[in-house]
Structure 1
Amino acid sequence: MTSSPTLSVLDLVPVRSDQHTGDALAASVRLAATADELGYRRYWVAEHHNMPAVAATNPPVLIGMLAAHTQRIRVGSGGVMLPNHAPLVVAEQFSLLEAAYPGRIDLGIGRAPGTDPVTRFALQHGAGGVDDQAVERFPNYLDDVRAMMAPEGVGMRVGPRTHELHATPSAAGIPEMWLLGSSEYSARLAAEKGLPYVFAHHFSGQGTAEALALYRESFVPSEHCAEPRTFLTVNAVVAETRAEAERLALPNQLQMLALRTGGPLTAQRLVEDAEQVAEGLPEDHERLMAAMQRRWVVDEPGAAREQVADLAASYGVDEVMVHPVGGATRGTDPAVAPSRETTLRLLANA
């Protein structure tokens, strides 16, 4: 029998049609506490902007909140979209988090903007205008963040003088830094920089094997990471029966469908509303939904645990980061996400 991998959690802090942002945050605090209680290794939050169904706009703020409500689990970003931010700002934020919660902070970094072009302009315009070279400078920005967080800091040359630059006055440690991606570019860059690497299997579901193989084959050891370290992410809904899991998966599947087909984005529908929408889908959209589900873990507990173990074995990883995407039914307390908590409990066999 395939051995069970270590489990972690990815959270986009979804906002349902029956919730305000505060409700969604409360539900994520409960979910993080559940993951902590069940022995999950990490709890990461994403960075997305101007999306009606996603409240994860600011990973450092969320990480501080979640770390304060947990005891053991590592809390981090999945990830900070570095082209949106000055490297020094990211280094300062995560150095402070590491100081407050030593040994528990992960800094996952991505290259995508995490939003639409107009919102990207608004994000970067506030810092003095859109930097069209931000993506091209991404490899250097990675180096900058890592160097600035180091206890010794960096020297910044300005004119004839070198100025010392520290992300925090007296660092005792640095966050664990990971590179995130869904392409061979990110795999190659992580290998070149000697960084741990996470493939966003939950988002694309394609090219995973190729990207991980490239990363492992090209890896150059660094002082921070002596050998390749990697895991992957997967969308999951686990319930007592497969039929119930498929029903609970519908709200998120419809959101992903809208993203892929250019449909209107809304707050996440309740399950009953999603069922009504799903009944009227055109055939090509039904096929897209079915293809999505084949890449997700949507099943009863025993089969779901086996699928996660098989996924880890297939890609040679000992850790899988679960993105629990189950929806809620009418009458659910807005401050909780029962099906997401149930997914974590059933996968952990608790």
Structure 2
Amino acid sequence: MQLSVLDLVPVRSDQTSADAVAAARGLAQVADASGYTRYWVAEHHNMPAVAATNPPVVIALLAAATERIRVGSGGVMLPNHAPLVVAEQFALLEAAFPGRIDLGIGRAPGSDPVTSWALRHGAGGVEEDAVARFPSYVDNVIAMMSPEGVGLQVQGRNHPLTATPRATSVPPVWLLGSSDYSARLAAERGLPYVFAHHFSGHGTAEAMDLYRSQFRPSEHLDQPRTFLTVNAVVAPTREEAERLVLPNLHSMVALRTGGQLAPQRTVEEAEADPLPDAHRALAESMLQRWVVGTPEDAAKQVRELATTYDVDEVMIHPVAGALTGTDPRTAPAREATLRLLAEAV
């Protein structure tokens, strides 16, 4: 079974953005050395606990700091961007790091409505138009990245348009989602598909079944290819893992309940301010879908996920918090999660 990594580049209460990026670089190097297949970064905007605002920039930094691992987006939120811009960014990344770049594409905004407006207004579009045109945007990105490019008909003349001159390879395109929309579109276009199990946790089996049952072979893929993501904290003991999961658990509860979003707390800060009783059931429900425990227990849970959903790859989102006094440019508990799980699997 293959293991991969999803990183939102979290920002802790003891970190600056520069610290968070440095910690992500170190985490990617651990994943590279530990044999992980790919390392994807997400796109989120205007969030105090997330520094991954621009996947192509982060991908360039991480690909340059690693040697073997595939680096990609999990994902680029395509309605936020002009398709040509995305095609140019990833064609250039592929040229710089041939055979190591993945383009994962999502449809969600990745931000609040005001920030979405700021992103899309600057590109001359509105949210409703961008979302409605998502399927054609996906087609355009793929076509523009190809060595042949596309031809645009303007005033009766054909104008060639390519994302980069003389491309010799093209990054694979994956569709991401937490509902059946992207599963259906990926099946229709013959593209690989990833379910955001780490975020949703509901409807995973239904989306996977829909994708596989409706898949149409294409020039990109001759049979369905899919995997899922999962939140994970791995530590030498169960008790330590349960402590380390608290900061991210508190952040996710705040996100789901309309609470104030803030930089991610340290473990001690989370322990000093426990969740209110009204939110404990929600927290327990979330934890049931996460992988939290010793290396042996975590490896067993990951294998069970792979068997249940019939995938040969699982993407780990390491969400272990940090103790007070940790070097702000590092994320040792997240690094340990990757090392310990790789050794146990």
Measured against the shorter chain, the TM-score band is over 0.9
Query: One-letter code of the match for 2:291?
Result: V
Of 243, 250, 257, the residue aligned with 2:253 is 257
Question: 1:41-52 counterparts in 2 under 5 A?
Answer: 41-52=37-48
Of 160, 179, 201, the residue aligned with 2:175 is 179
Q: Which residue of 2 aligns with 1:291?
A: 285
Question: 1:113-168: per-residue Cα shift (whole Å, max 9, x none)?
Answer: 10000000111122235353110100000000000000011001111101000100
**Separation in structure 1 between the aligned mates of residue 72 and residue 338 of structure 2, nearest angstrom:** 18
Of 311, 316, 335, the residue aligned with 1:322 is 316
Question: 1:53-92 counterparts in 2 under 5 A?
Answer: 53-92=49-88
Query: One-letter code of the match for 2:253?
Result: L
Identity of aligned residues (%): 70
**Separation in structure 2 between the aligned mates of residue 207 and residue 131 of structure 1, nearest angstrom:** 26
**Separation in structure 2 between the aligned mates of residue 44 and residue 127 of structure 1, nearest angstrom:** 25
The answer to whether residue 317 in structure 2 is matched with residue 302 in structure 1 is no
RMSD: 0.8
**Separation in structure 1 between the aligned mates of residue 314 and residue 49 of structure 2, nearest angstrom:** 24
**SS class of match (1:187):** helix
**SS class of match (1:134):** helix
Query: One-letter code of the match for 2:343?
Result: N
The answer to whether residue 323 in structure 2 is matched with residue 332 in structure 1 is no
**Separation in structure 2 between the aligned mates of residue 283 and residue 210 of structure 1, nearest angstrom:** 32
**Separation in structure 1 between the aligned mates of residue 233 and residue 187 of structure 2, nearest angstrom:** 32
The answer to whether residue 9 in structure 2 is matched with residue 13 in structure 1 is yes
Task: Using the TM superposition, give the Cα deviation of residue 276 of structure 1 relative to its aligned residue in structure 2, in angstroms.
Answer: 1.4
**Separation in structure 2 between the aligned mates of residue 44 and residue 136 of structure 1, nearest angstrom:** 26
Question: 1:248-280: per-residue Cα shift (whole Å, max 9, x none)?
Answer: 0000000000110000000000000001121xx
Superposition misfits of 4+ residues, deviation over 3 angstroms? none
The answer to whether residue 319 in structure 2 is matched with residue 346 in structure 1 is no
Question: 1:1-350 counterparts in 2 under 5 A?
Answer: 5-278=1-274, 281-349=275-343
**SS class of match (1:348):** helix
**Separation in structure 2 between the aligned mates of residue 79 and residue 239 of structure 1, nearest angstrom:** 28
**SS class of match (1:227):** coil
- The 8 Å contact of residues 117 and 127 in structure 2, kept in 1 or not, is answered as no
Task: Using the TM superposition, give the Cα deviation of residue 284 of structure 1 relative to its aligned residue in structure 2, in angstroms.
Answer: 2.6
**Separation in structure 2 between the aligned mates of residue 55 and residue 187 of structure 1, nearest angstrom:** 28
- The 8 Å contact of residues 152 and 161 in structure 2, kept in 1 or not, is answered as yes
**SS class of match (1:295):** coil
Query: One-letter code of the match for 2:155?
Result: G
**Separation in structure 2 between the aligned mates of residue 263 and residue 322 of structure 1, nearest angstrom:** 26
Question: 1:189-232: per-residue Cα shift (whole Å, max 9, x none)?
Answer: 11001000000000000100000000000000000111000000
Task: Using the TM superposition, give the Cα deviation of residue 186 of structure 1 relative to its aligned residue in structure 2, in angstroms.
Answer: 1.1
Q: Which runs of 5 or more residues in structure 2 are unaligned?
A: none
The number of aligned residues is 344
**SS class of match (2:103):** strand
Query: One-letter code of the match for 1:336?
Result: T
Tell me the TM-score normalized by structure 2. 0.99
Query: One-letter code of the match for 2:197?
Result: H
